[in-house]
Amino acid sequence: MRNGKPVILVVEDSALIRMGAVDLVLHAGYEALEACDADEAIRILEVRNDIDLVFTDVQMPGTMDGIKLSHYIRDRWPPVKLIVASGATILEESLLPSGSQFFSKPYENHTITDAMARLLLPESPRAPTA
Tell me the pLDDT tens digit for each residue of 76-122: 999 999 999 988 766 666 688 988 999 988 889 999 999 999 999 88
Chain Cα centroid distance, residue 97:
12
Q: Has residue 124 got a pLDDT over 60?
A: no
Q: To the nearest whole percent, how much of the chain has pLDDT over 90?
A: 69
Q: Which domain holds residue 61?
A: 7-120
User: pTM of this prediction?
Assistant: 0.89
95 within domain boundaries: yes
How many structural domains is the chain composed of? 1
pLDDT interval class at 128 (50, 70, 90): low
d(CA 20, CA 22): 5
125 within domain boundaries: no
d(CA 93, CA 85): 11
116 within domain boundaries: yes
20 within domain boundaries: yes
**Given this model, what pLDDT does residue 96 score?**
86
